[in-house]
Amino acid sequence: MSTVLVTGGAGFIGSHLCDRLLAEGKRVVAVDDLSSGRIANLAEARGYGQRFTLHNMDVRLDELRTVFDRHRPDVVMHLAGQRSISASLTDPLQDASGNVLGLLNVLDCACAVGTRKVVFAASGLTLYGEPRSIPVKESARLRGRPVSPYGITKAAAVDYLDFYQRAKGLDFTALALATVYGPRQGESRVVGKFICQMLGGEAPTIFGDGHQTRDLVFIDDAVHAFALAADRGSGTLLNVGTGSETSVKELFALLAKLTGFRGKPSHAPPSEGDVARSSLDSALAARKLGWKPWTELEDGLGATIEWFRAG
């Protein structure tokens, strides 16, 4: 039975990934400092008994090595780190500490115990900067200029992964994720925030004119890409998105219809560090992983709304 270590395992994407890997028969070790992850997200994973272990730990700590020594994972899924674009703008040092130093500690630990591969959660929204053409291909990274420190750390991470593969033989796949949404997501991102506000009868705020777009990919689809990447996509950066653009105004209208919200949005100035358009070309992921999205946006949003209602 192979062992997979998931950093950020109590988070939105990480907890769903733990569930998927356990269902596949893997032994799963989650590492999470619970600064944003939630124990409640791991209710299903904890039902697998001794096949699931959680370590409450920051991935930057030296003690992470003891976790690797104990479990000796075959694959690491690295999702932990600082995840706020706005926080990176106000404190780039802390952002780099979480997203660069944390990554390097994970990579060094993985090399020390003979881990075969690291699958990394990159950011398709930020690492390419403002796209010149839509949908964005992976080759855009070579000329991209991220507009936030967060995006800079995600772009640098891919270079570090490439170095560790060339210099130390640690295989990797970096998944440039579109905007992932679904059950268990927090209220800080646009889909979760809009749903919570609408269900509470509060008018959501649209930053800017609402014409900015996002590529919205459902959580089950995103997790499927991680599961496939454990054994495929060696040494590559792969986009994980739908290739479709949804404007914030369109998202508002669709969520209003699905929740029954009849109010109008309020407006605020554009967010600093935000890109105007985002859509990812996932043709390379289809070739390298055999991956493609299958969840229709309205179906995924409906499932997400029901989860928030039940909570």
Please name each of the domains of the chain with its CATH number.
Answer: 3-182+216-243+279-294 (3.40.50.720)
Give the Cα separation of 10 and 241 in Å (integer). Answer: 23
Question: What's the average model confidence in pLDDT over 231-259?
Answer: 97
pLDDT at 163: 98
Q: Order of strands, edge to edge, in the sheet holding 117-123? A: 52-56, 27-32, 3-7, 75-78, 117-123, 171-177, 236-240
Give the Cα separation of 14 and 226 in Å (integer). Answer: 10
Task: Extract the tokens encoding 76.
Answer: 């690491």
Does residue 238 register a pLDDT over 90?
Answer: yes
Which active-site residues does the annotation give?
150
Provide the pLDDT confidence category of residue 310 given band limits of 50, 70 and 90: very high
Give the Cα separation of 291 and 225 in Å (integer). Answer: 6
Instruction: Return the SS3 of 52.
Output: strand
Whether the Cβ atoms of residue 183 and residue 303 lie closer than 8 Å to each other: yes
Whether the Cβ atoms of residue 216 and residue 191 lie closer than 8 Å to each other: yes
Q: What is the pTM of this model?
A: 0.96
pLDDT at 311: 78
Question: What's the average model confidence in pLDDT over 228-237?
Answer: 98
**What is the number of other CB atoms lying within 10 angstroms of the CB of residue 273?**
16
Pick from 153-162, 190-199, 271-280, 289-298: least confident: 271-280
Helix (H) or strand (E) holding 205: strand 205-207
pLDDT at 273: 76
Whether the Cβ atoms of residue 18 and residue 184 lie closer than 8 Å to each other: no
Give the Cα separation of 287 and 192 in Å (integer). Answer: 32
pLDDT at 133: 92
Question: What's the average model confidence in pLDDT over 174-179?
Answer: 98
